[in-house]
């Protein structure tokens, strides 16, 4: 009897220890509970609606889960066979009251939960209209996000880093020309799949200025985990300033430098553009790779995985597949070191990308 108690106690200690380890290890991910991809810290109406739905359901699930667990443990202990006791269970033919009630109670719980769930789904699917709304076409590529701002007076392209003004709904039109991806910025909205041949719409909105990171949430190939993004929410005036910067074309001399010196040797223009115009003679010609017009203005590159520094860009230009695995994917940034590019040449190109495309080159210490 004592032996059994000891075993029971040891089992309980192990269980509590394991549970504590799970909690501690889980909190190691990211930067703790206040990391920028935490659905429990929403910063926009859509994300708030989702959390408002999730919270009561979580507690209902806790009550049901704990109830079942406690009852199971109680029954196992209370009705266990004791040493020296010889007995077989009483044979019965079911229990109508019990069976009907444990069918009807879960049905009622689920039926009640369905009402706010369906209401929230319809509410989130509504596409806001009006002059307040901002529109961005999001194209998922393997593996980065291309954005085109489509409202009147805009029309420019950018990649991975999206700027939005606070307190204004931003309607994203999600398309893919390759495989299925999923656009997810946890603090601003739920996930939405990006499906080839089936454009989807997602509305995001931020209530406070800040940088909200996100990522592709649907396995889309070797560098799926390297398909991140960030949304920079800012005041209306900061946003307007950013739009003006992105719209501004590079000087003819800078475009020539890229076209006649860099691309003529390495063929960059077959995938990238250094123009941001959606019409006219100098319009965007290639959208296979990220638009490079103002790549130096972004905080990170390559699917938002590398900080925008001269060193990182140099390594990238020299041997992109070595920096971000692509596997056998065709039409991807090649390993230029294999085509004879030297580190010095790679650094010159990186310097162009960092310093000549940036609206304010002084923001990079390497350009000063
Ligand atoms: Cu795109 Cu995963």
Distance of alpha carbon 141 from alpha carbon 131, whole angstroms: 30
What the block records as the tokens of 37 is 């991809």
Cβ of 224 less than 6 Å from ligand 1: yes
Tell me the average pLDDT of the chain.
90
Atom of ligand 1 nearest to the CA of 181: 1
The alpha carbon of 209 and the centre of ligand 1 are apart by a number of angstroms equal to 26
CA of 221 to the centre of ligand 1 (A): 7
Ligand 1 contact, 216 CB (< 6 A): yes
User: What is the per-residue pLDDT for 325?
Assistant: 92
The two tokens of residue 237 are: 């005036």
pLDDT above 60 (res 345): yes
Q: Which atom number of ligand 1 is nearest to the Cα of residue 142? A: 1
pLDDT in tens, 38-51: 899 999 999 999 99
Q: Around Cβ 278, how many Cβ atoms within 10 Å?
A: 14
Please indicate whether residue 139, judged by its CB atom, sits closer than 6 Å to ligand 1.
no
CA of 4 to the centre of ligand 1 (A): 52
* Measured distance CA(116)–CA(191) in Å, rounded: 19
* Span from the CA of 239 to the centroid of ligand 1 (angstroms): 27
pLDDT at position 34: 60
Cα separation, 123 vs 139, whole angstroms: 24
The HSE-up count of residue 141 (CA atoms within 13 Å, CB side) is 21
The predicted-structure confidence for 93-134, as pLDDT tens digits, reads as follows 888 999 999 999 999 999 999 999 999 999 999 999 999 999
Q: Is the pLDDT of residue 26 over 90?
A: no
CA of 140 to the centre of ligand 1 (A): 8
Is 220 a pocket residue for ligand 1 (Cβ < 6 Å)? yes
301 C-alpha to ligand 1 centroid (Å): 16
Q: Is 274's C-beta closer than 6 angstroms to any atom of ligand 1?
A: no
Is the distance from the beta carbon of residue 218 to the nearest atom of ligand 1 less than 6 Å?
Answer: yes
Task: Kindly report the protein residue whose alpha carbon is nearest to atom 1 of ligand 1.
Answer: 181
In short, whether 136's Cβ falls inside 6 Å of ligand 1 is no
Tell how far the Cα of 278 is from the centroid of ligand 1, in angstroms: 26
Q: How confident is the model at residue 12 (pLDDT cuts 50, 70, 90)?
A: low
pTM, two decimals, is 0.85
What is the position in ligand 1's atom list of the atom closest to the CA of 179? 1
Q: Which atom of ligand 1 is nearest to the CA of 227?
A: 1
Ligand 1 centre from 132 Cα, in Å? 30
* CA 100 to ligand 1 center in whole angstroms: 46
Half-sphere exposure of 130 (CA within 13 A, CB side): 5
Alpha-carbon gap, residue 87 to 80, rounded angstroms: 11
pLDDT confidence bin for 69, thresholds 50/70/90: very high
Atom of ligand 1 lying closest to residue 220 CA: 2
Give residue-wise pLDDT tens across range 194-238: 999 999 999 999 999 999 999 999 999 999 999 999 999 999 999
Report, as an integer, the average pLDDT of 150-154.
89
């Amino acid at each position: 009897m004592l032996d059994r108690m000891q075993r029971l106690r040891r089992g309980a200690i192990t269980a509590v220890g394991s549970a504590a380890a799970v909690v501690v290890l889980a909190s190691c991910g990211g930067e703790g509970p206040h990391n920028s991809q935490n659905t429990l810290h929403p910063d926009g109406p859509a994300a708030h609606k989702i959390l408002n739905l999730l919270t009561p359901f979580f507690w209902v699930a806790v009550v049901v889960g704990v109830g079942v667990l406690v009852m199971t443990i109680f029954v196992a202990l209370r009705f266990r066979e004791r040493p020296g006791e010889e007995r077989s269970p009483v044979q019965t033919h079911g229990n109508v009251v019990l069976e009907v009630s444990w069918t009807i109670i879960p049905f009622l719980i689920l039926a009640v939960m369905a009402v706010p769930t369906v209401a929230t789904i319809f509410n989130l699917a509504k596409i806001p209209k009006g002059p307040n709304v901002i529109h961005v076409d999001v194209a998922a590529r393997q593996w980065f996000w291309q954005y085109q701002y489509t409202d009147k007076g805009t029309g420019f392209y950018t990649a991975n880093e999206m700027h939005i003004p606070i307190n204004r709904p931003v309607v994203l039109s999600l398309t893919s020309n390759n495989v299925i991806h999923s656009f997810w910025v946890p603090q601003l909205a739920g996930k939405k799949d990006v499906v080839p041949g089936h454009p989807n719409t997602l509305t995001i909105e931020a209530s406070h200025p800040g940088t909200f990171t996100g990522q592709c949430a649907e396995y889309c190939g070797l560098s799926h985990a390297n398909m991140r993004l960030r949304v920079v929410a800012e005041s209306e005036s900061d946003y307007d300033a950013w739009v003006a910067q992105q719209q501004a074309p590079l000087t003819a001399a800078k475009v020539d430098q890229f076209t006649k010196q860099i691309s003529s040797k390495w063929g960059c223009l077959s995938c990238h553009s250094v123009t941001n115009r959606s019409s006219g003679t100098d319009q965007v010609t290639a959208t296979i790779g990220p638009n490079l017009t103002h790549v130096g203005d972004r905080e990170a590159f390559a699917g938002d995985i590398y900080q925008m520094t001269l060193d990182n860009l140099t390594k990238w230009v020299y041997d992109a597949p070595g920096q971000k695995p692509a596997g056998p994917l065709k039409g991807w940034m090649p390993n230029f070191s294999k085509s004879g590019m030297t580190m010095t040449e790679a650094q010159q190109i990186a310097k162009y990308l960092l310093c000549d495309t940036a609206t304010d080159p002084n923001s990079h210490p390497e350009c000063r």
